[in-house]
Chains A and B, each alone.
Chain A
Amino acid sequence: MKKTDIVIIGAGAVGSALARELAKYKLDVTVVEKNEDLGGDSSKSNSAIIHTGYDAKPGTLESQLVVAANPMYDKLTKDLDIPFSRIGALLPAFTEEQFEQLPALKHKAMMNRVYDIEYLTGEQTLKMEPNLNPEVKGSLYIPRESIIDPFLLCIALAENAADNGVHFMLGTKCTGIKVEEGAVTTVQTTAGDIQTKYVINAAGLYCDEIAGYVGKADYYVTPRKGQFYILDKNTSCKVGMIILPIPTKITKGKLMCPTIHGNMLVGPTAEDMLDKQDKSTNAAGLESIATDVRKMIPNVNLRDTITQYSGLRAQRNPEGLNIDVYDDLKGYVNISGVRSTGLTGSVAIAKYVVDLMIEGGMKAEFKTNFNPIRKGTPIFAELSNEERAALIAKDPRYGNIICRCETVTEGQICDAIHRTLGARSVDGVKRRLRAGMGRCQGGFCGPRVIEILARELGIAPEEVRKNDPGSEMLTGKAR
């Protein structure tokens, strides 16, 4: 039987951040992820914002961890070589009623220790974002609200953890946890049992099911669907910052912001669902985004959309971020209620959990050889012509552009496949490099990416998948 010190269930943002945090210690750590690739479920389909926590409920664990996490991203994203931008957010008020809410929102931010929030007049607001509805009466400006690539964050955290010794078992589902004499002993998985001292439940959307295996499901999780539009980089009406609506009781509302790669992101809806796998979009939801966002940005051109997607937030019932350890269940940590702020919070949650475990008596000695630095695949599209020429001279495959829309080369695709925890599928390539994420959505590069994946992985083209087993791209050979 496989033996390890700690099993982390889930390789979403929280699981990956935990893996990297624990990689700093002399511990044997294993991550079990049901999906074939990193990034979990909720972590890869969201608004890709690193929040400040200005609007969290003051005094909560969520407020504490999100507020603490935000400043960590400057160094972290440098260390992990992933894009990150502090573009700031605006919270504009268009009606008297909304305008009257601004002082309370500002006060809430102060309660959350987000002191750098500023009030702007309507005129100042329009000057910063000329495409806003000119009716704007004033706004709150939150300079540290930031954007990131959520796939790359998870992938880079996990990759760096793996390079520092953490084992990842992808495509492996946890099917049970054995408890003996009040302590966890074994994690049962589709790839066999793993003997362990600790289990951390970072299963997000499915954390209630995992908690059920050890009788700690005193809550349940429902998926809350959020649908989004991605607009072409050349769309006529753009914004430079995150434009947030004044929140209602139910949701933070529908926002518009640039993505870290220069597209526009518009959404999300907030629809309470039953099926944790239903990531479909629907006409009514997409229509509601159009209606709502036009109130803030009247000229937003949703006809410039290149894709729509939906993500599922893990809505805990009862609400709230909870990180629990139990006197009657040694070695088990339960993380639940990680919702839309989870991407931001992940790195602080990881630190908090590890501290909790050490405080609880876990023996953890610092490694001397932990390497926090990860070097990503070169982003050809962002290089200068001189840098490009140098790269091609070193490896001619960088001269072969496969994805025209996002300028992704064969060299990058090969690197993404062969690096630690590399791409195994068409979506894997897409999420790491953006090949197929542009305006033609893989129309041109799709067939080439299939060929390259098959060649580099040494499999038949008809075995190449979009993502998980069952998502084969092709049904066989023509001849």
Chain B
Amino acid sequence: MTYLKRSPWILHYDASSCNGCDIEVLACLTPLYDVERFGIVNCGNPKHADVFVVTGGINEQNKAVIRNLYDQIPDPKVVVAVGICATSGGVFRECYNISGGIDTAIPVDVYVPGCAARPESIIDGIVQSLGILEEKRAKMLGRKRTKTAGTEGR
């Protein structure tokens, strides 16, 4: 983990999960898995977050909440869909109130399968998302430089 230069903060939201994945996300923070040693902190404020961790599928009532939270997270940001419900709807795919995975509402960068997803795979998913976060940051910085150099539009 030495390549981890920054301390990424996580915002966790339970879309329509059964709690199984949520408590595993929380378990990542506690002494056995302890992601805080990598500087990963769970925060309650979307404006402080870099990584958006969503569990469960999308339904009519939480769609707006998830979009709202996603919009409030400053760029660059990555979305990690934790659990099979967040990936595709899972066992609840055929329920009348589920419209599918998280990608039906917001763009997703990393999918973590499992029912419930194990803490090891959640940590792996978040670490993978950090690579994507770094790429996005570099891209943003590159775009800014070209802007200041006045080369935009060429």
A and B physically associate = no
